[in-house]
Amino acid sequence: MLNKIDLMSQQELVIVENIIKKNFPEKQLIEISAKENINMNLWLEKIEKTKHKDNFTMDVNYQTYGRAEAYLGWLNTSTELSSSEEFDISAFIRDFIEVLKNKFNNEKLEIAHLKIYGVSNNKYVKVSLTGLSDDINFSGQVPLIDNKANIIINARINVSPRKLENYVISKLNKFSAKKSITPKNIKTECFMPGQPNPKYRMSSEDAKKSLLTRKNIF
């Protein structure tokens, strides 16, 4: 399954298709967009009607995987926004994510993942971004009007954790002050992930042996 095809140009889609078909020629490729409801019924039909087959697991080079992740600073921040007057929480989040996008663009720092959630009175808005060249994606309640909101920021950016935390928190304080909004109880975790070391691992050779053993038993 190839998801989020609505974010790709036709040329990009062809390139990705060719890569997948070259590396996994035995697999059937279904291209979908959950957001635009493209091929969703086809995908669900395949899930319901396709019989399970024993598949070999893929060998994952966790050293390569870990090196790739080590380029990213990971940030999780939560705060409570409050104002003496009602404000559009969705517009605040949209404009703030633009501020961060411009900052990262000026610093030439690629965005792997940037999401901001706003919650108020059991309603929410989510604004997300997955690259400097991508458009901002909205979901949830728009507009979302109140004089307070709980905000969660998730970021995976190609920069050190220390710099990432400084960029996000300083921009949050400055942007909030400009809008006469006060961020309270700011809590932040910012780190670089360690080398992945899964507890249970099975190489493709182990999977083949396991499959042959099961076939001999049954």
Domain boundaries, the chain: 1-52, 72-191
Whether residue 84 is predicted with pLDDT greater than 60 in this model: the reply is yes
Q: What is the Cα–Cα distance from 14 to 25, expressed in whole angstroms?
A: 15
Which residues in the chain belong to E strands, given as ranges? 73-88, 111-120, 123-129, 137-140, 145-157, 182-191
H-helix or E-strand containing 217?
A: helix 204-217
- CATH ID of 72-191, from 3.50.40, 1.10.30, 3.40.1350, 3.30.70: 3.30.70
Listed range (51-55, 70-74, 93-97, 171-175) with the worst mean pLDDT: 51-55
Give residue 197's identity as a one-letter amino acid code. Answer: N
Report the distance separating Cα 115 and Cα 129, nearest Å: 6
CA 2 to chain centre: 15
Could you count the other beta carbons within 10 Å of the beta carbon of residue 105? 13
Instruction: Assess whether pLDDT exceeds 70 at residue 214.
Output: no
Q: Which helix (H) or strand (E) holds 207?
A: helix 204-217
CA distance to 56, 75, 78, 113, per residue, from 157 (Å): 33, 8, 17, 7
pLDDT at 211 over 70: no
* Residue of higher predicted confidence among 68 and 15: 15
Token pair in block for residue 113? 């993942």
3-state SS assignment for residue 38: strand
Please say if the pLDDT value at position 217 is more than 50. Answer: no
What is the rounded CA–CA span in Å between residue 80 and residue 147? Answer: 11
State the residue for tokens 């979302």: 144
Question: What is residue 204's predicted lDDT score, i.e. its pLDDT?
Answer: 59
Mean of pLDDT values over 185-191:
97
Strands 137-140 and 123-129, sheet pairing: antiparallel
Of 77, 85, 68, nearest to 196 by C-alpha is: 68
CB-CB neighbours of 19 under 10 Å:
10
At 213, list the tokens. 């053993």
pLDDT in tens, 85-122: 999 999 999 999 999 999 999 999 999 999 999 999 99
Cα pseudo-dihedral 58, 131, 154, 72, rounded to 10: 60
Work out the mean pLDDT of the chain and round it to a whole number: 89
Please report the pLDDT score of residue 175 as a whole number: 98
CB of 185 within 8 A of CB of 148?
Answer: no
